[in-house]
Structure 1
Amino acid sequence: MAWMWCQLFLQRCRAGLHLFPLTQRGVRIQIQGRHLVTMKLESPEFQSLFTPGLKSIAELFEKEKYELRIAGGAVRDLLNGMKPQDVDFATVATPTQMKEMFQSAGVRMINNKGEKHGTITARLHEQNFEITTLRIDVVTDGRHAEVEFTTDWEKDAERRDLTINSMFLGLDGTLFDYFRGYEDLKNKKVRFVGHATQRIQEDYLRILRYFRFYGRVAEKPGDHEPNTLEAIKKNAKGLAGISGERIWVELKKILVGNHVQDDVIKLDLRLKISKEEKNLGLFIMKHRRDLIKAIDSPEPLKPYQDFIIDSREPDMNSRICELLKYQGEEHLLKEMQEWSVPSFPISGHDLRKMGISSGKEIGTVLQQLRDQWKKSGYQMDKEQLLTCVKNV
């Protein structure tokens, strides 16, 4: 048994996690018959979230003694070593308490549409923070839910769709996992929280969300739990009551999963998606792995830029931006959006002036010069490049 815990400790340390025992003899404890797994996250991706705005929000909630945690998909991304594009927060404070707190502190609040569901959006240091009160679903009809506020973190986790989306992360790095979401994430399993049928009937769109996350997390295309598939089959008709807009949003996300490339053409025939959307989905699936390795290089954006230069297609910049969104590379995305694609300064006409007449030779020399130009970071000008030809 001691050997097993040592192995578990080493595995989690390699992942940037440290065990955080709530008792002196382990990390898994039993509280009133319920299991809670905790550990501590100290990764660079987690630390990078602490902007001046988040620090101010954290200090405010701590001062008023309202617990604040990161919730949902952001926790999943952080555990996977990725910096989340969007971070949602959960708290025990009610919307009324949050509004009073923010008004007293002079914090601006925006977009009050989510207040009836417990969400208040605060804006500090040019950054928005969407914070939702812990809640339980009182009445559901498969599309919408009437909610009731609670201070029970596990009750809030229980109403969420999948175990990998039901975890919370304290601002000190402590992970709160009530339904073994971290275990499922590491084992690449996608499971509903509690009973699949109940979760689906609360919101039938969760059927598509299940397949979306399965495509991103699972290793094999058909490794579903039989009970899960059975629950989906029995409740699939419930999707008829979901708006086409909500369904299409999920289907577009499913298209960039790991196991759907062979089915894109079939899906296109069924849904009549636009040529642009189909080609974008195929592009992301084709290049998401070969280009993601460039992230660890000294110039992480350079391979993406070279890809754009080599493709010579006018819309390739926007496709690469969509690929970076999919990969979760927020900083690289911002740099790419600000980058102006440079023009290669040499043409075949320039080489003909130098006495090169063979079309095949012109093509070869142009490619060699293009490679030199890329190696220089697109800095070599026309005169410098032509000097290379003269030297040869």
Structure 2
Amino acid sequence: MSETCVLADTPWLTSGPAARVLALLNGGGEEARVVGGAVRNALLKIPVGDIDIATTAIPDEVIRRARAASIKSVPTGIDHGTVTLVLDGHPFEVTTLREDTEAFGRKAKVAFGRDWVRDAERRDFTINGLSVDADGVVHDHVGGLDDIAARRVRFIGDPGQRIAEDYLRILRFFRIHAAYGTGDPDRAGYLACIGGRAGLAGLSAERVRMEMLKLVIAEGAAVAVTAMADGGLLLPIFGGVAYMGPFAAMIAAERELGLAPSAVRRLGALTVAVTEDARRVAARLRLSNAETRALDSMGHRWWRMAGMDEARARRRLYRLGEDAYRDRLMLAWARAGASHDTAYWRELATLPQRWRAPKFPLKAADFVARGIAEGPALGHVLTLAEDAWLAADFPLDRAVTAAIADRAVARFTRDHRL
């Protein structure tokens, strides 16, 4: 049975670009509504991101109306009925109501329709199957209102069938639960995900990456990821061991420090014990170059971060830079286990807030003046001098740094004397 309620305190629905799109597409025998995540978030009273719109109008009619109103239209998914309208720099995906005729995930064959119930029934989860019209009336054809009230994530219809239509819905089930659900995942959905886990192998790495990076930073990530591990769903994704203890500890450490959740940092805690793990995970998920470098840096001898005094920590911070230092240190913290000492790790993690490394005061010219020729020899001497400067705790006195330079030259000359 369909239910309705009225959505209050939604200024984006009564004025601004979204309201203009609805006004454009309503009338003349056609109807448009906001659908999906925007409705869900508005009901949960959390920030609304992208606003997607469904309409009875076919794509050609959407484009015709947009052109008449001098609104830019882009046929971003025209075969599936999606046209993107751009107003005041805000993109709105407008999709004609659809019915699946053959289900093959993203390659499903669809027919355009005018039935709001059938359109809702082809979506993934009940809390994503709601729509709201221009008057603020929320239409629920799938039981989403009750599930929002209960903070429960359920598949629409038969979970196994929904998953077989697109196996990415396995990951979306846990990601949406982590973001909007409470308690354990819905049992029927959970069992269907376990039953369909072989289908994960057919997903593109890019789609898996997108879902996993969103999942690990969600509010309820610890519960959702633990459920995935218990159901044997992480091995097909990562191709190796998942470390649930360090993952939970990383979340706790971020909260202890007041840091925003970091997807790569949490992914490192979950999957990385050595650099080989980092490279495997980066390849399987096709992480970006920046993400790959960060994950690899975290896994590089992270255990050396444990037991440091502040002098040694300053040297590490100088060598690594603030971001890499903090990430690697936090991986060591997360993997500390029984030796966990919050006060000790917090002191090390907040070092960049208390101390900023000075610049190495010696230059190439200082060594050329001491008779070192340009080329590999010069680079070698600079390295020796920098190491000595770090060991001396970053002195800036000119007499001290000159003595460091003299000793570096003397050592190089001695070591390379024929």
Name the TM-score class by shorter chain.
0.5 to 0.7
Specify the code of the residue in structure 2 equivalent to 1:148.
A
- Residues 81-110 of structure 1: per-residue CA shift (max 9 Å, x gap): 023111111111000111121222222213
Give the number of equivalent residue pairs.
266
Equivalent residue, structure 2, for 1:57: 21
> Are 1:142 and 1:238, in contact at CA under 8 Å, matched by a contact in 2?
no
Instruction: Give the aligned residue type for 2:7.
Output: L
8 Å CA contact 2:19–2:134 kept in 1: the answer is: no
1:87-236 paired onto structure 2 within 5 Å: 87-110=51-74, 112-220=75-183, 222-225=184-187, 227-236=188-197
Structure label with greater radius of gyration: 2
Question: What residue ranges of structure 1 are gaps of 5+ in the alignment?
Answer: 1-34, 293-312, 320-343, 348-392
Q: CA contact under 8 A between 1:143 and 1:242: conserved in structure 2?
A: no
Match of 1:241 in 2: 202
For 1:62, give the aligned amino acid.
N
Q: Which residue of 2 aligns with 1:82?
A: 46
- Counterpart of 1:39? 5
Deviations 1:97-136 (A, max 9, x none): 11121222222213x2311111111122232221110101
SS at match of 1:260: helix
Over residues 25-83 of structure 1, what are the superposed CA-to-partner deviations in whole Å (9 max), with x where a residue is unaligned?
A: xxxxxxxxxx111010112xx21454532333233223434211111111111000023
- Equivalent pair of 1:143/1:241 in contact (CA under 8 Å): no
Alpha carbons of structure 1 residues 285 and 118: separation in structure 2 relative to 1, 3 Å? farther
Give, in whole Å, the separation in 2 of the partners of 1:96 and 1:288.
53
Match of 2:215 in 1: 254
State the alpha-carbon separation in 2 of the partners of residues 54 and 39 from structure 1. Answer: 20
Question: Could you tell me how far apart the structure 1 residues matched to 2:257 and 2:23 are?
Answer: 40
Question: TM-score, normalised on structure 2?
Answer: 0.55
CA distance in 2, matches of 1:288, 1:105: 52
Instruction: Output the amino acid matched with 1:144.
Output: K
1:185-239 CA-partner distances (Å, limit 9, x unpaired): 111211110111111111111111111111123322x3532x3233222221111
| Seq. identity, % | 33
Give distance in 2, aligned partners of 1:60 and 1:253. Answer: 33
Matched-pair contact (CA < 8 Å) for 1:90–1:134? yes
What is the CA–CA distance in structure 1 between the aligned matches of 2:12 and 2:323, rounded to whole Å?
32
C-alpha distance 203-288 of structure 1, shift in aligned 2 (>3 A): farther
Q: Please state how far the C-alpha of 1:271 moved relative to its aligned partner.
A: 5.7
SS in 2 for 1:132: strand
Q: Is 55-64 or 137-146 further displaced after alignment?
A: 55-64
Instruction: Give the helix-richer structure, 1 or 2.
Output: 2
C-alpha deviation, 1:137, in angstroms: 1.3
Q: CA RMSD in A?
A: 4.1
Distance, in Å, in 2 between the alignment partners of 1:160 and 1:168 is: 12
